[in-house]
Structure 1
Amino acid sequence: MPAVTVVPSDKLIIVDGEALVFAYEAPASLHALQWSGETGHTEWTDGRPNQPLTAADYATQVAPFVTAWQAEKARREEDAAREAAARALPDAKAAKTAEVLSGYDAALAASLTMPTETPTAQDVSIGAALFAVDDAEGLAFVRETHAARRVELLAAVEAADTVEAVQAVEVSYAV
């Protein structure tokens, strides 16, 4: 049997050290119930002395509070699971969108600075300027090609209706 503390005025039930605060039914004059797992007592606000509880009292005096606590805990866990599921798709879309945008930047940088493996911002600027001077139409084509792929990928992310569908969007650019 679990250790249980009940304090109705605080709407508090603690089972094995885990406290939950919620509305539940209790006798009007019950100040507190303490149960160690084997024995316990009740405390009253109406002048009654503390009343001892034994294992024989568990089913009628303690178990209803444990059952209420278990139901509240299960309800909260279900709510948390629903909230997590509701956040999962927007979070997955945000992460994939960031990946698409980062991939676009990397593809454009790579196209402008080949064969540099890890181009700096200066390398990209110089590469763009040189490309524009040498082949302005080619630069426009590269930018349009990468931009079109970015739009395509972002549309696929937006259209996805499950986390799995978002994760299945493969971010790739022709470089």
Structure 2
Amino acid sequence: MPGKNLDFGRFGARGVKGSDAVARKLDELAGGIATPVTARRGWIARLHYLTRSGKSRQAAQDAGLTVTDRTLKAWLEGKRRPSKASLERIDAAYRAVRRQNVARHLLKRLNREGRGTRVEIHPLNQSQVARPHQRVIEYRTMNVRRWDKIVGSWAAGDYRGLDDAWTTDVLPDLGSQWGAYEYVTNVGFAA
């Protein structure tokens, strides 16, 4: 049933793909620098995070932040300010490196030695759908024990893999109506 919602929202339903909601929640759990990258404090903090070790610097280069040491030094000393495109690359590199650094710890917390984590799935919003087209979809909870593919795909930035893992490994545990939860308003869990 998943993947059959090719015309999602045709009758006014609102929501996001469940895997996108999971990715947002994982980003939230990963935490990080709260100051926006557009503020001087924000991009300086991100640059310090990306340049604190050789491994971090290499990961930042792999994530797309390719600037000379001279430019980086000028940015860190406040002599020059990164362009808008550079700020976007700094933020993208920061998020990619942060995900890689946090993934192993987050995976351990979510798997909890095989006990898993309780997940709340809030169904899509049908308030704008005409009564004859509405279907009964209820709030669901379940225990997810297999987080390896989900967290691995999230850490690698592979949203297609994350979607596949969510729709083929997790949703079928909901029973016969699991396709009705491909789009949701929110997915909540704590680690």
Tell which structure's C-alpha radius of gyration is larger: 1
Point out which structure has higher relative CO (alpha carbons under 8 A, 6+ apart): 2
**Larger proportion of helix:** 1
Q: Normalised by the size of structure 1, how large is the TM-score?
A: 0.27
**Larger proportion of strand:** 1
